[in-house]
Structure 1
């Protein structure tokens, strides 16, 4: 377990803490950067009233090969130079935790074609069809998951009629991932490049969220995670000339006209930290995102909890991946964080034949689920063998997309379509969190709305034409 520094929660704005750390370690020994501010007097569903607090990322506090949690505890041992300095300066430290480096396991099992290794550049851009190995189900044709027998996302889009573009353009979705390919045909129509951000350490421009691959590694096939999930979320219309797509001329994404803010929180091999997740969620909140789609996750964190609660109280719908595991291997099989939190909808998997995305033959990748206490706020979407746009191959879209990474943007797209339909009504709720927390219980309502169409309430009953009241789940 590695850490990229420490995360420290202090009361107030953190200035006293910054002075104390400079005293303890020297002016050039540490770098202190605020990553999340909890306003004074916050009284939402997730946060108690407070005098205000700040989460800070502090570099260079964790040294050597020690366990990062041991390092965090050692910093606060009475008598240590750090504890003495912060106490003397009046820097009221509430919490400290390591900024854990994590990697999202989204690739196919070892030995899958073409595998995670290097290939010829031309081979990277060769179409890969669905794969039924390991007892995985295959769907009928291209973009099958959008069809009426499956997610009905295409039908829900059609239900918005001539107002599809106008209504979806009012919905703001934050897409947290490895970034995007500026030149791919599936790039969303309304990608908000003015608000794009990168929180990945080492990126040259924090206002550029495009996916970067190190020099010399462009032939690695298993990269471009963000390009592919973004295409499922809001991918543009294909023109019928894509290789091996048999004249397909429709949108590849579930919510193609939504306004999408690209936020890069992980590098090209999907390595991220707690702090990049926290900063990405907060950037989404500060810029008015109504929906957040994040096809990754990992360990829990107090800083992550605060970021989620602030976003939830602001009325944001958060859907994140449940996680992946290898069948027959000792890998975690229950839902990861932040999908595990009750205020986040966990995206699990269901296959084309209706089976759960689990119980596959070893060592096939499959989706996480459980515990049962979480499943009331979990929802399945179709995976594997769904569309998967290939970075740096301008018109290539494979059909071997897999993992709960593929499920997540489909659910976010469904939420966007629902919000596009009912947007004028949501202002009736006195508190922003009521939209998703009470009015729309996502695991039930999105399913019933897709199945019943926009003329039904979220509990699946006929609305009797009462379209002027906010839809509710009972």
Structure 2
């Protein structure tokens, strides 16, 4: 049972990566030892190579976008007018694709909380545009990066507005208090969607204040999207926070085959899955990097939520969540612990939207076979059998009559021919 005297758990972004997994595990262990604090990791999984800020542009179209018919998607919505709060490590607007996507005035009234020792958390610039980690810049790009020359990468909602809220310090760490304050600030800034790419590393439930902050956001019709976490290699099902809070859309990571990525956390709380392997996005100073993790699956879904909200501004948060879950791509009926209701399908979510729904229907799109009807037993001749018998008699009689007529004609013809020959012989 959680003790009330336990220190507020710090929150940080998590990395899952080949070549860096051991270092991440060591860092997590150290954090658990210090003061017995509970770490929380934003679900990011980095690529094998270290990401370089100010990197070159990715010229092609990333696979996560190739799976979407973008022209059809954007004919429905581009997210205009929707505000998405990115609670993370900040968003660097020096990347040209984010310069016009970020509301730089949204941090004016944001007062950073202090850590458990009473020290203020360094946020850099007050407007949240300082990102020395790069995590938040990647998350923001997946949601709302603007089109740019020289690259096929673009955000799923390229006309949405990002509210950058830096709740982590330069080392990527934060606390329950900083996250609560960040959520409340997102509500004050009239966010329509909140993306939280962070989770508790050891599945210990944080202080109750975090749940209350989430509930305050949900009551304002805000869609709260959170990463499920990257501790799935062991195969254990466990809750992570804030993803497992009721009302939050928890997102797992899927690969190119629409299957759960090995690192993605499983559990009953998972709502949907989204691409989280080899995900290309924006980085500080400019350019792009590839990364892995549920940290980048969550903003993929947050972008879809922004598109739906722009198209259906009167829909409630639960209705938008249900729409995303209902239209997800799946090969089974119902919910699955690994990928939830399936892998998000952006186009279907925007086109199969005749009416809002409150919750997904596991039978939707599946046809149920009808039981065969037993044949009726008739002891006597049925009307149909009698009609068939009469038809057979009529057909037989017609055939006989035709044969008689034809036979008679042949006999008459032959008789006439014999008579003619006899007369001819007499004249000779």
Name the TM-score, length of structure 1 as normaliser.
Answer: 0.58
Deviation string for 1:169-212 (max 9, x for gaps)? Answer: 32111111000112112215231111124636342767231225
State which drifts further: 263-272 or 195-204: 195-204
C-alpha change, 1:237 and 1:451, in structure 2 (3 Å) is closer
Q: Secondary structure at the match of 2:8?
A: strand
The total of aligned residue pairs comes to: 309
Please state if 1:336 is matched with 2:240. Answer: yes
Q: Give 1:441 deviation, angstroms.
A: 1.4
CA distance in 2, matches of 1:184, 1:103: 23
Structure 2 partner of 1:389:
282
Structure 1 partner of 2:334:
none
Structure with the higher strand share, 1 or 2: 1
Q: Give 1:124 deviation, angstroms.
A: 5.5
Question: Which residue of the other structure, out of 245, 248, 251, is the alignment partner of 1:347?
Answer: 251
Structure 1 partner of 2:84:
173
Deviation string for 1:415-451 (max 9, x for gaps)? Answer: 111111112x43xxxxxxxx12357515524537735
Structure 2 partner of 1:447:
328
Structure 1 partner of 2:392:
none
C-alpha change, 1:158 and 1:258, in structure 2 (3 Å) is same
Instruction: Tell which has more relative contact order, 1 or 2 (C-alpha 8 A, sep 6+).
Output: 2
| Alignment map for 1:21-420 (pairs within 5 Å) | 73=5, 98-111=7-20, 125=54, 142-147=61-66, 150-152=67-69, 155-160=72-77, 164=78, 168-187=79-98, 189-196=100-107, 197=110, 199=112, 201-203=120-122, 207-213=126-132, 223-240=133-150, 248=151, 250=152, 252-298=154-200, 299-325=205-231, 327=233, 334-358=238-262, 366-370=263-267, 372=268, 374-375=269-270, 378-392=271-285, 394=286, 396-398=287-289, 400-420=290-310
Q: Secondary structure at the match of 2:84?
A: strand
C-alpha change, 1:256 and 1:335, in structure 2 (3 Å) is farther
Q: Say what the alpha-carbon RMSD is for the aligned residues.
A: 3.5
Q: Secondary structure at the match of 2:87?
A: strand
Q: Secondary structure at the match of 1:368?
A: coil
Structure 2 partner of 1:22:
none
Q: Secondary structure at the match of 1:279?
A: helix
Q: Secondary structure at the match of 2:272?
A: strand
C-alpha change, 1:191 and 1:438, in structure 2 (3 Å) is closer
Q: Secondary structure at the match of 1:98?
A: coil
Contact 1:142 1:387 in 2 (8 A): no
CA distance in 1, matches of 2:158, 2:305: 13
Q: Give 1:327 deviation, angstroms.
A: 3.1
Q: Which structure has the larger Rg over C-alpha atoms?
A: 2
Contact 2:322 2:357 in 1 (8 A): no
Contact 1:352 1:383 in 2 (8 A): no
CA distance in 2, matches of 1:317, 1:408: 12
CA distance in 2, matches of 1:124, 1:194: 24
Contact 1:156 1:453 in 2 (8 A): no
Q: Give 1:388 deviation, angstroms.
A: 2.9
Contact 2:137 2:283 in 1 (8 A): yes
CA distance in 2, matches of 1:100, 1:318: 20
Structure 2 partner of 1:19:
none
CA distance in 1, matches of 2:218, 2:112: 21
Contact 1:188 1:234 in 2 (8 A): no
Q: Secondary structure at the match of 1:303?
A: helix
C-alpha change, 1:100 and 1:204, in structure 2 (3 Å) is closer
Deviation string for 1:331-372 (max 9, x for gaps)? Answer: 9763410001121010101101122112xxxxxxx11120x3
Q: Secondary structure at the match of 2:75?
A: helix
Deviation string for 1:93-125 (max 9, x for gaps)? Answer: xxxx6322233322424358x999xxxx99665
C-alpha change, 1:102 and 1:176, in structure 2 (3 Å) is closer
C-alpha change, 1:444 and 1:111, in structure 2 (3 Å) is closer
Contact 1:191 1:261 in 2 (8 A): yes
Structure 1 residues without counterparts, runs of 5 or longer: 1-68, 74-96, 130-140, 214-222, 241-247, 359-365, 427-434, 458-462, 464-468
Contact 1:263 1:280 in 2 (8 A): yes
Contact 2:157 2:306 in 1 (8 A): yes
